[in-house]
Chains A and B, each alone.
Chain A
Amino acid sequence: MSDYAELATRSNFSFLEGASHPKHLVLSAILRGHTGMGLADRNTLAGVVRAWSALKTLREEGWSPPDRVRQGGSPGETVLVEDSFPVDIDPEEIKARAKTFKLILGARLRFNDGTPDILAYPEDRQGWGRLCRLLTLGNSRAKKGQCEIGLRDLLRAPEGLLLIVMPPRRLEGLEVLLRQVNDAAPGAVWLGAAMCRMGDDRRRLARLKTLSATTGAPLLAVNDVLYHDAEQRDLQDVVTCIREGVTLEGAGRRLDQNAERYLKPPAEMSRLFVDAPQAVAETQDVLARVAFDLGDLKYNYPEEPIPPGKTPQGWLEYLVERNLGQKYPDGATDHVRKTLATELTFIGERGLAPYFLTIHDIVRVAKDKGILCQGRGSAANSAVCYVLGITSVDPGKHDMLFERFLSTARDEPPDIDVDFEHARREEIIQDIYTRYGRDRAGLAATVIRYRPRSAIREVGKVMGLTDDVTARLAGSQWGSFGSDIPDRHLEQAGLDVDNPTVIRAVAMTRRLLEFPRHLSQHVGGFVLTRDRLDEIVPIGNAAMPDRTFIEWDKDDIDALGLMKVDVLALGMLTCIAKAFNLMRESGLDDLELDTVPDERPEVYQMLREGRSIGVFQVESRAQINMLPR
């Protein structure tokens, strides 16, 4: 029996094709004893960071208990949930296996010219860049969510990519294709072979062996995986029906005829490929050739905020020193100086100077334009931020909560959000694009997932429930709040909880919850990089014209350590700006955010009387009640 790694897997980020989360695929492969795995979703790299993070977590912490607590049916309610993943191996063993497990990441290229799918795994940093640019090109030609690439786009620049050609059901024309691809990328092409139990496996394998011999592309054993376990096949059937817009009854042969597309144990794969054992061994060669890891993308910070010749930390300290005089014309107190020193040491140890510098840069631009802005978040509660002008809260006068920031154990990126006047936020965004270039600044994505309402509607339709039943299920209470479906809500909806069809539909819906549905543009999260952005991650079109966003969301960006800045809009700042303008025009005081006099007794008196309409953050009825006390 030889070592095996499954190199043709699709997760549920191949929207409505795959039926497993990337992390479940990784865990399953480790549990089954694979030496590695390749994740290649259809024309996207949206799920790769999740798989990579899952492996990282398994290596560092071993098998952590599943999310036992999820949001319940009403706000604030939590519900104990069983994670459906059975694990019968010692957690320490898992950690050990994870350390030697190799995960390679790529994409399954689906072409628009009838060419069969080709898996592309970058073997080095340049290869990764090429793959991102290829997918970006495809995205740019199509509307949101689609990707149009042809074979010639791939063959134009295949260096650094390992290509696995996945043969279609009929093998006509495959030889020509293999020769074509092999000429363009010699030594980097494999022919994937899957034993799908369609009745002619050995005959087909023999044909593929001949093809491999004549064209020189080695045979590679795969199982073309769509789910981590055979139990998930019914869910895969359901998503296929959703994709094709049919019910299970009417789907016919669009569904797979068996449940073989799961991660099979190495022994089973060896047995299936007994006629071509070298195909199984070949998986290890492919794994070995990949030298690129997503962690290589870390610390790809833009250099704009830093003048040449200076280090980020050095520049930060210089700026702090320089601004100190402006902020404290009468001299800073010892307390302040001590706080600053502690913070700067912390920042230096963690290498976080670029974050502060980038934010400072953006804020400076805003202030030059006269746009009001205000920083917040745990890192914003710092003296450094005050001195740099990012926040307006003077550490000399208030106790700081920087301890929250200081106490972060891991090197998480600092949490700084900056609010801008909402009416003028677009100017800031355009300025960022101008300053960093559209090719090195991009908006982050959010992953829109199936929530109970949308999930039950789709699943119900597929399972043949009538519209009124699904509408009642969808309309019952848990729609917008929870991510689970407690039984009592079913009863409230007037449905018989014991009806087997309803039970089955609800059970299927529970499994579909949290599956990604599509990507959408994030509201204000920007990614800024030093290298070209489209050589780090594919960029796609948003629904708005002339808007693009990258395929990774905020969590992915944080996990990889890329620079992210949240440029948010706050209507109240516009209000304040208008108030200031009004004051200036009427000849009253000329104020800035940080020069507004505080500790005014009249204000406190007003609040104590409960007259807080129009006062931000304390406007609600509950607050009005609280204030007099």
Chain B
Amino acid sequence: MRREEGRSDASAEPATVLVEKVKGALRLTAANGQALALGLSPGMTLADARARAPDIRVVTHRPEADAALLKRVLLDFGRFTPMAATDGPDGLALDVTGCAHLFGGEAGMMEAVAARARGVGLAVRLALACTPEAARALARFGRGGLYEGEGQSQALRRLPVAALELSDKETQALSRAGLKTLAHLADRPTAPIAARFGAAAATRLNRVLGREDARIRPERPVSMIAVDRILVEPITETADVEAVISDLLAEAMDRLDLRSQGGRAFQASFFRLDGEVRHITVRTGRPSRDAVGVARLFRERLAALARPLDPGFGFDQVRLSVPVADRLASRQCGFDRTPPGAEDLGRLVDRLTARLGPEAVSRFEPVASHWPERAVHLTPAALAPGEDGEWLDPDPADPPLRPLQMFDPPQPVLATAEVPDHPPNRFIWRRVDHRLVRVEGPERIAPEWWRSLKRPLEPTRDYYRVEDLEGRRFWLFRSGFYGEEPAPRWFVHGVFA
């Protein structure tokens, strides 16, 4: 179901026209009701117009102002349906499938839209029909109104062939052929039309007549779950806003639960009385159905907004949508209501990220690679964990294979060891001499030869886990072998604990 509006720049003023320079002459692009009553029409030259009505008010047409206004109207009319798009420079197309019930049925919808348009000072022509093209044709070339079923077909048939919006020559050709209304075309087979005027014309005919359907592409992508609350009395207080969000979240979570999904991004849209719209988005690292937790995230975000949420004269509609959702199996809470540790961590991450921003909170992730520098990767904690690699899994009885803290870059040290590859017995780092009492190794790690095309490659490393007299444990390596050129160098790459 679709509805369209035509719009002209109107006001309760004396006869006014808009002019624009077309091919060197100033011509009228639009005229208001009074001007039209005086016999002026768009396309006339200004000189002609002045001749008929010397007192008309002339305003230069500014298409960009028109476009900006249209955009604002579009955003505002997003309250009626998320599937909204502009239709030409002066119209909107709204797909109200499934939304009409919110406004009391289709008739109520038309009423509400007309009322709102009047409220913001627009003169509109509306048409509601089964396909976008049909509605457009009925609004622009017919009389507008609510159409369906048989009534729609009849109305469409009465439309002139200009409703197909083909080129002027083609339209002329049609009328010369005696095909003046769509009724004439509808009763004929489409193949000759396609042959004479092109396949596009035939498609257009089918669409206008409602035989074919094509969805409009909405300005904003449609979210999977969206819950609206239309407020009879507009709200301005933050506490009220938060309460409404909480209610909406509870509803949205129920719907997610039905689908066994959890949301990873939640968007609250606030529609102001005067047409402004504001969106606040909150993201979570793991899919979530925790209404309380996400409400808290919203609270924190609202509190931390750089530009406070200005309600103006109040919000009269709030929508909560879930643009990103992932699988989350349904789960029953335990009787003692203590959630498992992983959820706590996830919540902590979400709260920190909401307050500090995603780049400020990160975590280490394993990468499938033997080379130590590449085996670990820092990512924003809020992103879902990747499946790239797993941490090394040593025997639980053995000491850890990798240090907790790794230095980047590895720090050079001086060390002595028996050739060819015995562990060192001491090393000097930052002028401190460490004598080693326990050593283990080597763990030989060869460079990833396919990564670089130049030769020679980085030298093979022999890693050693060592413990000094004070019990401190280090992760040392020797880069290169004794007896080779260049001589090998020793580094400390990390510390355990």
Contact = CB atoms under 8 A, between A and B. Distances in A.
Nearest to A499: B453
Given A252-B368, A252-B369, A259-B446, A200 B453 contact: no
B466 to A, nearest CB: 12
Nearest to B392: A253
B456 to A, nearest CB: 13
A199 interface: yes
Nearest to B390: A253
Contacts of A463: 450
Nearest to A197: B444
Contacts of A248: 450
A155 B446 CA distance: 39
A504 B453 contact: yes
B445 interface: yes
Nearest to B441: A199
Interface in B191-225: none
A173 B176 CA distance: 94
Contact of A200 (B367, B440, B450, B462): B440
Nearest to A271: B420
Contact of A199 (B442, B449, B453): B442
A168 to B, nearest CB: 12
B389 A197 contact: no
Contact of B389 (A233, A252, A500): A252
A237 to B, nearest CB: 8
Contacts of B449: 233-234, 237
Chain B CB within 10 Å — which of A199, A203, A237, A251 has the most?
A: A199
Interface string B448-472: 0110010000001011010000000
B450 A260 contact: no
Contacts of B453: 500-501, 504
Contacts of A197: 442-444, 462
Contact of B395 (A170, A258, A501, A504): A170
A257 B440 contact: no
A255 interface: yes
A424 interface: no
Interface string A556-572: 00000000000000000
Interface string A235-277: 0010000000000111111010111100000000000000000
A202 B446 contact: no
Given A259-B446, A463-B450, A199 B440 contact: yes
A176 interface: no
A199 B450 contact: no
Given A203-B398, A258-B460, A463-B450, A198 B443 contact: yes
B401 interface: yes
Contacts of A234: 449-450
Contacts of A251: 368
B465 to A, nearest CB: 7
A199 B465 contact: yes
A318 to B, nearest CB: 68
Contact of A260 (B368, B369, B401, B444): B444
Contacts of B460: 258-259
Given A500-B453, A501-B453, A258 B368 contact: no
A233 B443 CA distance: 17
A259 B481 CA distance: 14
Interface in A75-102: none
Contacts of A199: 401, 440-443, 463, 465
A331 B445 CA distance: 82
Interface in A182-226: 197-200, 202-203
Contacts of B368: 250-253
A258 B445 contact: yes
Interface string B363-394: 00001111000000000000000001100000
B398 A258 contact: no
B interface bracket (residues with beta carbon within 8 Å of A): 20 to 34
Contacts of A258: 444-446, 460
Contacts of B395: 170
A233 B444 CA distance: 14
Contacts of B445: 257-258
Contact of A257 (B367, B388, B444, B450): B444
A253 B445 CA distance: 12
A203 B369 CA distance: 25
A269 to B, nearest CB: 14
Given A203-B398, A463-B450, A255 B440 contact: no
A251 B451 CA distance: 12
B423 to A, nearest CB: 10
B463 A257 contact: no
Chain A CB within 10 Å — which of B367, B370, B389, B465 has the most?
A: B370
Contacts of A198: 443
Contacts of B401: 199
Contacts of A257: 370, 444-446
Contacts of B442: 197, 199
Contacts of A260: 444
A253 B441 contact: no
B370 A255 contact: yes
Contacts of A202: 440
Nearest to A198: B443
A200 B398 contact: yes
Nearest to A254: B368
B448 to A, nearest CB: 8
A248 B451 CA distance: 9
Contacts of B465: 199
B223 to A, nearest CB: 34
B192 to A, nearest CB: 45
Nearest to A247: B450
Interface in A330-367: none
B272 to A, nearest CB: 51
A197 B449 CA distance: 19
B446 A233 contact: yes
A237 B450 CA distance: 10
Nearest to A230: B446
Contacts of A249: 450
Contacts of B462: 197
Interface string A497-516: 00011001000000000000
Contacts of B369: 252-253
Contacts of A252: 367-369, 388-389
Nearest to A464: B450
Interface in B140-194: none
Contact of A203 (B440, B444, B446, B450): B440
Chain A CB within 10 Å — which of B398, B401, B444 has the most?
A: B444
19 contacts: A197-B444, A198-B443, A199-B440, A203-B440, A234-B449, A248-B450, A249-B450, A252-B369, A253-B368, A253-B369, A253-B370, A258-B444, A258-B445, A258-B446, A258-B460, A259-B446, A260-B444, A500-B453, A504-B453
Which are the 6 A-B pairs with shortest beta-carbon distances? A252-B368, A199-B443, A197-B444, A257-B370, A258-B444, A248-B450
